[in-house]
Amino acid sequence: MVTLSEQIAKLKDKFGALISDPVEYRGEVTVTLTDCQEVVAVCGFAKRQLGFDYLIDISSIDNYGSDPRWTLVYHLRSMATGQEWRLITHVSEEKSELPSVLPVWRTANWHEREVYDMMGIRFTGHPDLRRILMWEGYSYYPLRKDFPLAGKPTDLPGIAFTKPAPLEGGPFVTLPSPAGAINREPRVRTVED
């Protein structure tokens, strides 16, 4: 069986300086792609030539205050060998878009929609890039670090609501308690808590 190190070496041979040396931490391997516009080519090679046929997840990190602002993390797995690794790429706030990997893995559909919905990062070439958790017309991206913890007032859609309702949120704190999990659950705390 080909080792993961040998697989990553093939990736580096193909894409050269676009691919960083692998970083291993606690048995997990991460590789950085320096040009996010090449993500489809790299992912296509990883799937077709290296056998990483399953996209586990796409997650995003807001590096608010830094440039580039966002980090996207693609979690890849080979179903045949059980090998897993992560491909990381960065997206600037000015551009805030990169190509969709939906042509490579159909499972990217909802992952990309969630990243768009929560962070506002657009995926060019995605055939149905619309909100998946928030409603259409919602003008904020709630997982961005500049989104206030206390939420923002908004008009919720639908006939069940007649007045603006706040999107309540933090500051979330957890208190130590021997009384059980319900008392330790993060929730909005009042002054009395």
pLDDT at 154: 66
Q: Assess whether 116 and 173 both reside in one domain.
A: no
The Cα 165–Cα 93 span in angstroms is: 30
Tell me, rounded to whole angstroms, the distance of Cα 187 from its chain centroid: 24
Residues 43 and 76: their CA atoms lie apart, in Å, by 9
Q: For 70-116, write each residue's pLDDT tens digit.
A: 999 999 999 999 999 999 999 999 988 999 999 999 999 999 999 99
Which residues are 31's β-sheet partners?
87
Q: What's the Cα-to-Cα distance from 93 to each of 36, 39, 127, rounded to whole Å?
A: 13, 18, 23
Number of folded domains that form the chain: 2
Are 59 and 130 in the same domain?
Answer: yes
Give the range of the structural domain holding residue 126, as residue numbers without chain letter: 4-143
Question: Cα(14)–Cα(29) distance, rounded to whole angstroms?
Answer: 18
User: Do 123 and 184 have their domain in common?
Assistant: no
* Total-model pTM: 0.80
